[in-house]
Amino acid sequence: MSRSSSSLPEESISNKGFVAKTFIAFLVFGALMIVGWSTFKWINMQPQEAGALKPLRKTLDFNEKVFSGIFNANHLVKEYPVSQAVKRVRVNGMDGLRDSVNEASWRLKVVRAAGDTLQLTLNDIKQLPKKDIVFDFKCIEGWDQVTHWGGVPLKTFMEHYHLDKQSKMNYLGLVTPDKGYYVGIDMPSALHPQTLLCYEMNGKPLPVNQGFPLRLIIPVKYGIKHLKRIGTMFFSNNKPADYWAERGYDYYAGH
Amino acid sequence: MKKIVHKHPLAIRWFHWFNFPVLTCMIWSGLLIYWANDVYKIGWNNKTLIKFFPEDFYKALHIPYHLAEGMSWHFAFMWLFAINGLLYILFTIFSGQWRFLLPNKKSFREAWMVLLHDLHLSKYTPPQLKYNAAQRIAYTAIVIMGIGSLLTGLAIYKPVQFSRIAWLCGGYAAARAEHFILTIGYVLFFLIHIVQVIKTGWNNFQAMITGFEIIKPTVQKASHE
């Protein structure tokens, strides 16, 4: 160790100077602590915007800009062998599933434009090329589960039904038939190759509590975005309403 | 006349005191998030020694059912924690302050002597410049822990975009556990730190605010914390 780095600078000062220096330092320190505390109090006093304090909601929106900026459709979610998928899949909410549903009368309504709605049966969707995915499903609550799903990639679906103009819009919205649950998805995440319109779990038709007949599986998002029992699909350049984002959660909720 | 020694540069005092409330906010908001899936415990088989955390602890701190609130604070203050921490590291590198902080070859042996001295098991006072060997290890470890929190945090927050970081952490679930353990580490660090600061006394403590310490003619120049 060199001499210069092994000693701290020393100085002789008058008693008066010492008292003044100490006093000023503590004054500035106290003032900064008050500024810090007031900032915290100020944030806490701000009105809420969509269930979150306004400055924090603004930061969540800023985070969305940052992290959707680095989103890369080539970054794939890790897939697992089917044998690793759990048999007892966790059910974490029944919002939007409280009405009864039957396959014969159910239709997927795709709103191509105002007054132009495509109506599809489950069979129509099953005609498209199927993809299976076994991935680590993650909930914002902090738990995760390796689960096995099957369906048609949303990207394939949109190409098949010539939804090219729609796929150039900023967002895709999904709503349950009873309108009790709804999500908005940014288009790059919706068109991610692992995003599925899903009708199978563990190789069998979806159970009712997992969104029979058709749900969204979007591995690049937290569970809150994996809407169960899709009724209507629409496209928009503005953020579609989102159930949990209205209740204080991050709109983007992406990985 | 008084003789003083300039111990802590202004920048380091700023980083220290800015980090304190920010880290407190991160730990508090982290608790609000953790509560939603509070699976960690110390125990074996069906026997639980310590559950993180007992119901009374949650209730006393008003933790339950604030997941969304916790996330909104956590994902805002993460920027302040990360930026302040990175600036601190850059400052210590470019100012040469790292020389006072990084442990060297002798530090690990000396740290043992510091421990014995602090526990009043040995009368030998280990050499002390700005920081003694135990402090060098502790203050370097806390920086590594900070980097660890940042990396494990990113692995939980964006496990696909930062899949390499998640892989380094041993996967998503492992990253979450590591993130939690590091937080417990901060709390333990804090408790020891406070005890040591109180033990060492006013002259040492006030230096973290004023930057300088009085050199008492009879006492060794730099003291503990």
Contact call for A72 and B161, based on CB within 8 A: yes
Question: How near does any CA of chain A get to the CA of B118, in Å?
Answer: 23
Which of A124, A123, A119 has the alpha carbon at shortest distance from A109? A119
The ipTM, to two decimals, is 0.92
CA distance A180 to A95: 6
Report the pLDDT value the prediction gives residue A4, as an integer from 0 to 100: 41
Which segments in chain A show pLDDT lower than 50? 1-5
C-alpha triplet B201, B202, B207: angle, nearest 5°: 115
Between A182 and B223, whose confidence is greater? A182
Determine how β-strand A10-13 pairs with β-strand A108-113. unpaired
Nearest-CB residue to B73 (from A21, A56, A142): A56
Q: A255 and B2: CB-CB below 8 Å?
A: no
Give me the total of CB pairs closer than 8 Å, taking one residue from chain A and one from chain B. Answer: 125
Supply A170's token pair.
């900023």
- Write out pLDDT tens, residues A67-115: 999 999 999 999 999 999 999 999 998 899 988 899 999 999 999 999 9
Q: What is the pLDDT of residue A5?
A: 44
For residues A88 and A94, the answer to whether their CB atoms sit within 8 Å is no
Q: What is the per-residue pLDDT for B223?
A: 53
Tell me what pLDDT residue A1 has: 33
Cβ(A95)–Cβ(A223) under 8 Å? no
Look at the block and give the residue holding tokens 């320190």. A29
A10/B76 CB distance under 8 A: no
Q: What is the 3-state secondary structure (H, E, C) of chain B?
A: CEEEEECCCHHHHHHHHHHHHHHHHHHHHHHHHHHHHCCCEEEECCEEEEECCCHHHHHHHCCCCCHHHHHHHHHHHHHHHHHHHHHHHHHHHHHCCHHHHCCCCCHHHHHHHHHHHHCCCCCCCCCCCCCCHHHHHHHHHHHHHHHHHHHHHHHHHCCCCCHHHHHHCCCHHHHHHHHHHHHHHHHHHHHHHHHHHHHHCHHHHHHHHHCEEECCCCCCCCCCC
pLDDT band with cut points at 50, 70 and 90 for residue B222: low
Flag if A250 and B72 touch (Cβ within 8 Å): yes
pLDDT digits (tens, 9 = 90+) for B112-160: 888 888 888 887 777 777 788 888 899 999 999 999 999 999 999 999 9
Contact between A13 and B2 (Cβ < 8 Å): yes
State which H helix or E strand residue A185 sits in.
strand A182-186
| Residues whose CB is less than 8 angstroms from the CB of residue A81 and which lie 6 or more positions away in sequence, other chains included | A134
pLDDT at B224: 55
Helices marked H in A46-183 — which ranges?
Answer: 54-69, 122-126, 154-160, 164-167
Tell me the pLDDT band of B213, cut-offs 50, 70 and 90: very high
Digit-coded pLDDT (tens) for B171-185 = 999 999 999 999 999
The arithmetic mean of pLDDT across residues B55-81, rounded, is 96
Measured CA distances, B224 to B8, B97, B114, B117, B198 (Å): 13, 17, 10, 12, 10
pLDDT at A2: 34
Give the pairing type, strands A232-236 and A108-113. parallel
User: Per DSSP, what are the bridge partners of residue B115?
Assistant: none
Please judge whether B161 and A71 are an interchain contact, meaning their C-beta atoms are less than 8 angstroms apart.
yes
Mean pLDDT throughout B63-75?
Answer: 96
Domain boundaries, chain A: 12-45, 48-247
Residues 12-31 of A with CB under 8 A from B: 12-15, 18, 21-22, 25-26, 29
Q: What pLDDT band is residue B218 in, cutting at 50, 70 and 90?
A: low
Is residue B53 reached through a cis peptide bond, with omega within 30 degrees of 0 on the bond before it? yes
Q: A48-247: what CATH class?
A: alpha beta
Q: Nearest chain B Cα to A10, which residue? A: B5
* Beta carbons of B35 and B66 less than 8 angstroms apart: yes
Residue contact A75–B163, C-beta within 8 A: yes
Let me know: does A105 contact A121? Beta carbons within 8 Å.
Answer: no
Domains of chain B as residue ranges with CATH: 4-29+79-214 (1.20.950.20)
Q: Check residue B73 and give its pLDDT.
A: 97
Most confident segment among A233-247, B93-107, B208-222: A233-247
Residue A5 CB coordination number (10 Å) = 13
Helix (H/G/I), strand (E/B), else coil: A110: strand
pLDDT, tens digit, for every residue of A92-102?
988 999 888 99
Q: B25: which chain A residues are within 8 Å (Cβ-Cβ)?
A: 40
| Amino acid at residue number B87 | L
Q: Answer yes or no: do A75 and B67 touch at CB < 8 A.
A: no
Any bridge partners for residue A201, and if so which?
A149, A204
Q: Which H/E stretch holds residue A103?
A: none
Mean pLDDT of chain B: 91
DSSP for A189-239, please give it.
Answer: HHTSTT-EEEEEETTEEPPGGGTTT-EEE-TTB-GGGS-SS--EEEEESSP
Tokens 């496209």 sit on residue: A235
Q: Which residues contact B65 (CB under 8 A, 6 or more apart)?
A: none
Question: Which residue carries 């604030």 as its tokens?
Answer: B66
